Chain A
């Protein structure tokens, strides 16, 4: 059964870590690959849906992501972490698909009413209904791409800033600044909506 938060630092007792699974997979254990797939499949589907893919497109993109993981398995350093590795591949697959179609990555995000808002931190108390979630999505869509990306990974995918920095290819401090500004804009944008 897939854990709620794949790849999180605290792997539940008895559950093999992503890194251990990946190591077994590199050594030729197909079962480990399947376990990784089931662990990350739902999360990657949500990621693709949030970035504007339709249900079938998201499925296809996740398949491509794992195909790329399979092809790139020999590039994986055994002291690295799996989640940022896989997330970067997923985002590159998404971006590459848009480029092939001649669409700019920033055009991709549209408001997808079916996507899941996962357990937010500071804002979680204010977002209690789907209506509120829709407001958040609209506010999020108005953020600059660099800030939106950081917030999506940190908030929705619950990645620590250190991993977000690896995925977006920026320094830890730059990511924290983007998150600070982005969350600030989100908060004021939502406050304005509530007041109006």
Chain B
């Protein structure tokens, strides 16, 4: 039999205090229904993409092969929204198994690099291409893609009610794919080396950074417990 007395009233008082402390904007956001969370996160992705299309559209967009563009956008969007949806999965549903999260992360990276190395059979007009060192362009694209993806990651984390690291990984994958999606609509360079180093790498960088942070947090927690 249980040997410990249960002070339910004191426990409820502590809980009430925690709920009172949770009355910030972030706490209010976390308390919205899951469909609202998914709507906000989805609108953030759409907003970032529209920003790219309207203000930073690639100059050769009209000439770019339509089928290739459609397949690329469709594939990226499908993995992106599944990853984002999983990162906001409500707590009253059974948690995703670790292998599913790992598969999604690997899938996001594989898709990014797969699209980058698949030949487009399309040579853009040299007048549309930027001049200068290739690695500079790649770094610029990586930086721009990460910057565009960052709001998606931040919104995903703000809306997450848990502190489960697997959800951070899923949000990172979605953020990286958003960056890559906007880069696809922005950057006219179709050289595979550039696409690998400047575009596909956005997903890899997001995932690597989050993985690193999760590892460090775990190590700190373990030391604190020890």
Interface residues of A, CB < 8 Å — how many?
Answer: 42
- A67 on the interface (CB 8 Å rule)? yes
Q: Identify the stretch in A4-12, A70-78, A136-144, A171-179 within 8 Å (CB) of chain B at 4 or more residues.
A: A70-78
- B125 on the interface (CB 8 Å rule)? no
CA A41 – CA B166 in complex, angstroms?
A: 28
CA A167 – CA B95 in complex, angstroms?
A: 10
Minimum CB distance partner of A70 in chain B: B19
Minimum CB distance partner of A168 in chain B: B94
- A89 near B92 with CB under 8 A, answer yes
- A37 near B8 with CB under 8 A, answer yes
- B91 near A88 with CB under 8 A, answer yes
- B165 on the interface (CB 8 Å rule)? yes
- A181 on the interface (CB 8 Å rule)? no
- B11 near A96 with CB under 8 A, answer no
Interface residues of B, CB < 8 Å — how many?
Answer: 38
B201: min CB distance to chain A, Å: 27
- A108 on the interface (CB 8 Å rule)? no
- A100 near B95 with CB under 8 A, answer no
- B222 near A102 with CB under 8 A, answer yes
CB-CB under 8 A from B22, the residues of chain A are 67, 70-71
Residues on B close to A: CB < 8 A?
1-4, 6, 8-9, 11-12, 14-15, 18-19, 22, 27, 30-34, 90-95, 98, 161-166, 217-218, 221-222, 225
Residues on A close to B: CB < 8 A?
2, 34, 37-38, 41-42, 45-46, 49, 55, 59, 62-63, 66-68, 70-76, 85, 88-89, 91-93, 95-96, 99-102, 114-116, 130, 167-169
Can you sample 25 A-B contacts with CB below 8 Å? A2-B8, A59-B11, A62-B11, A63-B11, A63-B15, A71-B27, A71-B30, A72-B34, A72-B90, A74-B31, A75-B33, A88-B91, A88-B93, A88-B94, A89-B91, A92-B94, A99-B98, A99-B166, A100-B221, A101-B221, A102-B218, A102-B221, A114-B3, A168-B94, A169-B94
